[in-house]
Amino acid sequence: MYRPMHHGYIEAIAGPMYSGKSEELIRRLKRAQIAKQKVLIFKPAIDDRYCGENIVSHNGSKLKAIRIHHSREMMEYIEKDTQVVGIDEVQFFDDGIIEVCKNLADGGIRVIVAGLDMDFRGEPFGPTPMLLTMAEFVDKLSAICMVCGEPAHRTQRLINGQPAKYTDPVILVGATESYEARCRLHHQVPK
C-alpha cells in the first residue's frame, strides 16, 4: 500500500487468528525491502510458533525477525537510517510498546504493527486496542468461521475439542488445546 506521506505514521493490522495478519504484514515489509528501504522486524520472544528467527504466516510465507523479550530492547536496534519497523504478535508485548511505536512514528519511521485485537474470551488483548486508536491506518481483517463459513472476527479456544471456559487457565497441563476462527454467533465462552 503506497502512503504518500512525508513523516512517520502507524499502520495497524488486527483481527482473529487465521485472518491473514502475518501474511499482510509480510507482504508490506517485503515490498519495502524490494524498494531498498531500511526495514527492521520484531517479534515477541514468547511467540514460538514455528520457532526461530522468522515471522511466519499459517500459509508458510516468512521473513527474518529479531526476537525481543521487552519493548525497551527495541530502541537498541533502531539506527539513524531505519525507515520501516514491523512488529508481529504485538498483543504479547508489554504496554511500553505503545510509547515506543509513538516515538518511532514521531521520529519519521513507518511503523506497522500486527496482532490479535481480542483474546479467546472476546476481550481487548494487551496493547493492541490502544495501538488501533493511535494508528493513522487500521485494517481489521476477518477469517472464515469454521462452523458456518461467514466472516469470522473472533478466536475460539478449544480444550480437548470443547469450548474453553472463561476462567480456564492460560496453561493447561495435559490438555490438548487448539484455536479456530469463529463468527460472533458461533464463538462460545462458557462461564
Query: Looking at the annotation, which residues are catalytic?
Result: 89
CB 48 within 8 Å of CB 72: no
Q: Binding to ligand ADP (CB under 6 A): which residues in 167-186?
A: 181
CB 166 within 8 Å of CB 189: yes
Interface with ligand ADP includes 155 (CB under 6 A)?
no
Interface with ligand ADP includes 86 (CB under 6 A)?
no
Q: Which of 1-9, 20-28, 94-102, 123-131 is the region at the interface with ligand ADP (rule: CB under 6 A)?
A: 20-28
Interface with ligand ADP includes 109 (CB under 6 A)?
no
Sheet containing 66-68: order of strands: 66-68, 39-44, 84-87, 110-116, 9-15, 137-140
Burial of 163 (0-12, 13-18, 19+ CB in 10 A): middle
Interface with ligand ADP includes 147 (CB under 6 A)?
no
Interface with ligand ADP includes 156 (CB under 6 A)?
no
Interface with ligand ADP includes 57 (CB under 6 A)?
yes
Task: Out of 27, 58, 102, 165, point to the residue binding ligand ADP (CB under 6 A).
Answer: 58
CB 124 within 8 Å of CB 151: no
- Binding interface with ligand ADP (CB under 6 A): 15, 17-23, 57-59, 143-144, 146, 181
